[in-house]
Chains A and B, each alone.
Chain A
């Protein structure tokens, strides 16, 4: 319990300050979260869902925290000159865990829609936040949830009222900015009431050459007949350590597209748990990982079919090179009552070097007897025949490799329903394969 010690002491010493600079609905859960964290400790690699990532090691260094909520001098609009043609979004920034509200998009959101600071929302509408906050991301079993819940002070709140359609995609750029090594505990709460529709795009960036350790816990509620598209793009640097836990709950007839794309990073551990709570709900859970050098990406997912007539599609693709070590573990659970479930889970991996490693573990557990489910995984190299065919047509070796890698990744991008974003990602993935995206140089979504 060495790594834990500093966080336990930190909480004991700063409890007052944590609460003072946050809001009541967040503060209420801190005590229990602290007890849970102290009891659980960081998961060892013997814990099934953490077997591919050494959590203690990542949390061992001594990071600074901005508990007194000092303003960090940065104008994200200056750092990110955003002029993407065709990708017109309502653009917001988070600096570390703080919502940047000094400049806001000029185009107004539809009436009743809220995109802003979780802490501010909790002060103004405590009843709303109380009702949802901490109900999906429970602290009694997961130490990252517990740690985040006990330390987080702010984050992002997105709220779309009943029947409201947000036409223009909402883009939130998470900027990691610090002059010292920094730990950030960010919280995200997204509520789509019945019939609401929104497209969300998150982009993670780190603009300073510092070690960052981020925990992010996101709770997403998708109401009846609501439609959510959520794209999470990480494009940070090798000194970033990201622990992201996403929980999504879907009601009847809702649809959700959840995409996670890791273009550049240091250590990333993404957990995504989707619960299909209402009949005829449909979920698409996709991931694309491009990793080389010593990067590590560990995606761990759970799709929980609790009721009949739901559908889930899961596709994760990895393109690996150099000495990278990555993991995919995806569990699809079809409960006893979840008859007529349709579920498909695929993980495909392209391993481009002798040293690169992928641990893949697709899991399917079925307790119902009338379902259509499949799961599978592949690990392979670029085809020699295809390579030679392209070279015979005069396409140089490196270019041919790149085209083939791109082709491999393309079908994940194909599921992106936002045309401009899909085109943009095609461009970024292309650049990434060309080695022109070797570090974060600001928002590539925008440059």
Chain B
């Protein structure tokens, strides 16, 4: 599904990613763990095409297509979704209008007609249930006045609406209490299929207990320095990242 080759990227002239290599196959969930400032969020931002980041070398192939040549909206329409670490508030744009614009853009890209208003609202109602999102929130402006937990649930709700094939969860567990974490994680699990893959960025084991990743990567100083099974996450939880830094 996704293949990253020798990826180098920088922000404001400072190199953050220093040669990432990663292959994610259909149906797999990969966890990326690492210290603060290691480049985890940079990696996710580069995959979705945030214009603030500059790719200086390497390539990303998504289902056979060169991702780096696409605009952010094209990548999204191709099926890439980022659950933001800090979802953005957009006063004045209602969740409904926002989702309708997003969903219809994707449908247009797939050669489909816009979804009729009735069907769309029905879909909104169905998908809201997955993350137990209050109908009142859906009527408000995008993320405006949402609590931290509501914002993260809203991200998974949007994921449910857009049905991406590849999702990135960027510290979706940060700022969540135990119950909210469970709702978000279970919501995500409901959306998993053998055809969808995900990359989960986190500092903690807690989220991974729910998501059960197939593969765990350790990202330090812009490079993936170790890859393993779920047991690697446990090891990090116990011993921290220091062991990896020392070995370099």
Q: Which residues of A contact B (CB under 8 A)?
A: 383-386, 388-397, 399-400, 403-404, 406-408, 410-411
Contacts and interface: CB of A to CB of B under 8 A. Distances in A.
A395 B88 contact: no
Nearest to A388: B50
B129 interface: no
A395 B93 CA distance: 13
A392 B71 CA distance: 9
Contact of A393 (B92, B141, B158): B158
A407 B82 contact: no
A408 B90 CA distance: 10
Contacts of A400: 73
Given A386-B90, A391-B71, A394-B73, 11 more contacts: A386-B89, A391-B76, A392-B73, A394-B76, A394-B102, A396-B73, A397-B71, A404-B92, A404-B93, A406-B93, A407-B141
A395 B105 contact: yes
A394 B77 contact: yes
Nearest to B91: A407
Given A393-B98, A393-B162, A395-B102, A407 B93 contact: yes
Contacts of B81: 392-393
Contacts of B92: 404, 406-408, 410-411
Interface of B: 48-52, 71-73, 76-77, 81-82, 84, 87-93, 97-98, 101-103, 105-106, 109, 141-142, 158, 162
Contact of A396 (B90, B105, B142): B105
A396 B97 CA distance: 14
A366 B6 CA distance: 65
Contact of A399 (B51, B82, B105, B158): B105
Nearest to A385: B88
A389 B73 CA distance: 10
Would you list the 8 A-B pairs with minimal beta carbon distance, nearest first? A407-B92, A394-B76, A393-B102, A389-B88, A391-B72, A394-B105, A391-B73, A407-B93
B125 to A, nearest CB: 19
B109 A394 contact: yes
Contacts, number: 80
Contact of B97 (A386, A394, A403): A403
A390 B90 contact: yes
Contact of A392 (B72, B89, B101): B72
A403 B72 contact: no
A50 to B, nearest CB: 34
Contacts of B48: 392
- Report which residue of B52, B91, B92 has the largest number of chain A beta carbons within 10 angstroms of its beta carbon: B92
Main secondary structure of the interface of A (DSSP, over half): helix
21 contacts: A384-B52, A389-B87, A389-B88, A389-B90, A390-B102, A391-B49, A392-B48, A392-B73, A392-B76, A392-B81, A393-B76, A394-B73, A394-B103, A394-B162, A396-B105, A397-B73, A400-B73, A403-B98, A406-B93, A407-B93, A411-B92
A406 B141 CA distance: 13
A317 to B, nearest CB: 11
Given A386-B90, A399-B105, A404-B93, A392 B82 contact: yes
Contacts of A388: 50-52, 72, 88
Given A384-B52, A394-B76, A394-B162, A399 B101 contact: yes
Contacts of A408: 92
B70 to A, nearest CB: 11
The winner among B71, B89, B101 for most chain A CB atoms within 10 A is B101
Contacts of A410: 92
A286 to B, nearest CB: 16
A389 B76 contact: no
A406 B93 CA distance: 8
Nearest to B80: A392
A396 B102 CA distance: 9
Nearest to B90: A386
A139 B159 CA distance: 64
A406 B92 CA distance: 8
A427 B229 CA distance: 55
A106 to B, nearest CB: 35
Contacts of B141: 407
A394 B106 contact: yes
A429 to B, nearest CB: 12
Contacts of A399: 101, 105
B84 A389 contact: yes
A399 B141 CA distance: 17
Nearest to A397: B73
A27 to B, nearest CB: 50
Contacts of B88: 383, 385-386, 388-389
B183 to A, nearest CB: 21
A397 B70 CA distance: 13
A415 to B, nearest CB: 14
Contacts of A394: 73, 76-77, 102-103, 105-106, 109, 162
Contacts of B98: 390, 393, 395, 403
A13 to B, nearest CB: 54
B58 to A, nearest CB: 21
B74 to A, nearest CB: 8
B71 to A, nearest CB: 7
A399 B98 CA distance: 10
Contacts of B50: 388, 392
A290 B126 CA distance: 38
Contacts of B93: 403-404, 406-407
A395 B162 CA distance: 12
Contacts of B51: 384, 388
Nearest to B45: A388
A385 B90 CA distance: 9
Of B72, B77, B109, B142, the most chain A CB neighbours within 10 A belong to B72
B68 to A, nearest CB: 15
A397 B74 CA distance: 10
Contacts of A386: 88-90
B133 to A, nearest CB: 16
A411 B93 CA distance: 11
